[in-house]
A = this chain, B = another copy of it.
Amino acid sequence: MFFASDNAGPVHPKIIEALAQANQGYALGYGNDPQMAQVRQQIRDLFEAPDAAVYLVATGTAANSLALATLCQPWQTVFCSPVAHIHEDECNAPEFYSGGAKLTLVGDQDKMTPDTLRQTILNEEVRGVHGPQRGPVSITQVTERGQVYTLDELHALTSVAQEFGLPVFMDGARFANALDALGCSPADMTWKAGVDAVSFGGTKNGCMGVEAVILFDPAKAWEFELRRKRGAHLFSKHRYLSAQMLGYLADGLWLQTARAANATCTRLAEGLRELPGVALLYPPQANMIFADMPRALHQRLHDAGAVYYITRGTLAGDDPDELLTARFVCDWSLGADQVDAFLAAARD
């Protein structure tokens, strides 16, 4: 009953297998391994983007920070949601990698809207050289609150960015979960929707630690390579990043694991909905949900061994009816039995 995060589960056996399979003989380091050539081709095919530049790094923060730094000048500002991972959970990594750019928060929700985005962009850079200059728009898909932008919503946001000539980055740490939710193609959700660069996350979806960064316009490919090296994110034994990604891509494993996680989460959401006193905060759309639940219920679940984060309030407290907000994230590996056990504990 581990719902704390999708980075806490095991690596998918097929990824482990792919690592073992790559572990033969000698291979040039630093991205010159033959496996990387395959990765590059497969990702270009998958995204219908024959010219895209494709790179691998080991952490989501590296993917986000390196991609944003490539799109952003130090005197610019990145437009993002106030709950964006890049703003709240990366200890200023985007500021570090960009050389001191700013992040400007759009609206007060996890999902930006075209109106809040346009208004925020308009508010910046009305002071010539004095204010921060307008920089890239960063969209998290799935959002940090578990919601998925529809293709229409994406188009509307990127249209606003294009009005102002701003590039668009998609933080796809949970790319596969979003894609499964939308049922569209990777191209539909990215460059066809106006996205210039995307991170294609593997770590939260069954890999050990690998994320692809895809630049649909390869003009800055070499700059990205230099930034990756300078950031100490170019792996010498790179083939083991490649191998993970190959295992992830093979036979659509990446979509299967995401589908499993989403389905588990749906099962959990449906179960929670039926519980008295429980209110879901956002429409469940992928593998993460938030719910208000009475303290007594939280206590019972924790006593039963359930693990998850309480994001508002604290178990310590007297009032058993006080509502505390919980975040539940379903890892690819969580079985329906875990959900059922959890719901059973909740109902006791």
Contact = CB atoms under 8 A, between A and B. Distances in A.
A104 to B, nearest CB: 10
Interface stretch (A24-32, A155-163, A292-300, A316-324): A24-32
B103 A100 contact: no
Given A232-B231, A240-B208, A91 B19 contact: no
A337 interface: no
A209 B235 contact: yes
Interface in A229-255: 229-237, 240
A210 to B, nearest CB: 10
Given A7-B237, A26-B307, A240-B11, A93 B231 contact: yes
| Total copies of the chain | 4
A91 to B, nearest CB: 4
B10 A229 contact: no
B231 A132 contact: no
A99 interface: yes
Given A58-B235, A96-B230, A233-B59, A130 B89 contact: yes
Contacts of A65: 232
A234 B62 CA distance: 10
B101 A92 contact: yes
Given A208-B237, A230-B75, A240-B209, A91 B129 contact: yes
Interface in A78-113: 88-93, 95-103
B236 A91 contact: no
Contacts of A99: 74, 96, 99-100
Nearest to A128: B30
A130 B95 contact: no
A25 B237 CA distance: 27
B88 A92 contact: no
Interface string A299-320: 0000000010000000000000
B226 A129 contact: yes
A8 interface: yes
Interface string A1-38: 01011011111010010011001111111100000000
A88 B127 CA distance: 9
Contacts of A9: 25-26
A10 B25 contact: yes
B75 A91 contact: yes
A65 B232 CA distance: 8
Given A4-B28, A90-B229, 12 more contacts: A2-B26, A5-B236, A58-B235, A66-B232, A75-B92, A75-B230, A88-B131, A91-B226, A96-B100, A129-B225, A203-B236, A208-B240
Interface of A: 2, 4-5, 7-11, 13, 16, 19-20, 23-30, 57-62, 65-66, 73-77, 88-93, 95-103, 127, 129-133, 203-204, 208-209, 223, 225-227, 229-237, 240, 307, 331
